[in-house]
Structure 1
């Protein structure tokens, strides 16, 4: 029996991932991560429901991102020592309960708690991505990661569109009841469709957590990728947290559903992720990362100089999402090649840093909007991108030989 399982596992790796399974992983990642972003087009509506200021309601996004970072730190490393199919299904049930809690919030304080719980339990996409890398053949790993990450970014962007429309038609609470039902359905589907995988490491939970610090110390590429990820996703959160407030004011005066439609614009940028993934299979990813950071910086220049023109605002959104997503895919392609048996822990270090940056960006975006308006938002977002470029440049100047993924 053991040899039969080994033969099946070997055969699966020779054949690589089927397109159907890749698509399922991408869709699940997208629907899972969407839970973190339903609130952004609804922040103004939520603020009115609780008579809260933009600064107070902005903490909803911040607590979600903090919860997500902590959830990744505590749960995602389990992917190296636990069977992933059961782990993913259980976490999907937990996030469904958290979404119900948010839908039933009767005070802003309870909403903060529910927001944290949603983030804390919405970590399945970060277990799915290293699982996809594990199942993929080495020569197709960049393409597979790019496809799954496209699904993830589609979820981030389309979450705003869907929640904006649902919020306008049925109220913001309805969105969270719908999301909870989706998570329960996904839990069943993932348990039935995902292949069982053997843990790659035998270690205690405490040792597993301690080993992440050792991995960060061991690999300069991981440290660089984590810092760049934090800065880039921080800039992404600065923009999207503030966009609803900007679009509801002059000269646009858009409703939450129209503001949410800007997520559709970003899909054009997300669609480029598989292309970047294929490039990362052929070109050293660190070169792609440098170019994409500069491209993202250009988007904030467009926002600052021409943000009051709808055409330039749309162009900036496409460039921003392509730059952020492409940088993330390229970073993941190279860090997953560092130590295959530790992919879940490596992904944890990278993604905890990334979403810690996102939580800082959410807070910074609300503060910048409150104090300096749209120009403040552009300066804050652009400043974080510039910091990412400084990290990338400093790593090149140290003389270290960049590691090819």
Structure 2
């Protein structure tokens, strides 16, 4: 294979491709990158609200029967893949209109394979031959994100935000750089859509970025952040509508100053539910079975707590994505059939997290977090502490209040020092 260390992957989210003008602007950026002598791959999401609109059309056709099986989910994936494929074709046409040789590829055409259920696939491998051949011939390769092929050759989508994972996986396969283009100037100390004084971070440690993404930061998908950290990928978060340099994801040991704040950001996740399961201790394998079933469905859990309780029961508590509750309930209902177990769900909660480094060495951070929330009549529960994240559950209608209060309490609105980082 050729040396692809100069390769750059541009990933464009749906808001960066909403209108014809947005598509043309992305094409101009790609044109400049290629004329600079670098091999270029573009990975695209569905434009604007296309995915939501396709799901709404599917819902208008009919609701999913309880016994629908995987066939229903297969057709939903067939439908949703159209959004990314249309984005890829339109961007390729915009590039060709500028005289740039370009070929658009669906995820399966790009050699991306996956395992897992429809709607939540995990990338297994990428065959680089098709993309590599196009690049060697001087083309820009435009790849549909969010999708891959399973062993049967069917399209399997990767879940919301999966286009980020596609882009990072391609960059990692070729050993190049990945620029994630979005509608904000980079990674902030809180969501700038809700916290006006949120500061932009010039650099973020890769492990901290992975935690921020998992905790709910929408600027980068959690699986993409974790993969970038594992592969030590050169990654930047940039605004597709400005020339701002954005945020560079770096390795702390090389580029982060010793006096950097131990709390980097406050992150919230409204797509959260809390589940409590009580079962007899005599079912000694049930605890293991619960998490095995959820793992089989590719459902991530957080804030996990398992303990014995009177009268001799085992109580499991964990949080999960509210949007994944229907799948989790169906899977657990099958597991618990005929067993004496009780499942209780609270779905009007949100997860609020401090993210940073060395938090276990600073117990005052947890104390300040809980004290701040309590002083403002925000009930917090299910506390989790770790070196890079401290999380609590709060009532959903107080989540943004909690973020604003914590952002102020930890003085994250102050300007960040300028850092010299590699690009």
TM-score by length of 1: 0.29
Which has the greater radius of gyration? 2
Choose between structure 1 and 2 for higher RCO, CA contacts under 8 A separated by at least 6 residues.
Answer: 1
**Larger strand proportion, structure 1 or 2?**
2
TM-score by length of 2: 0.28
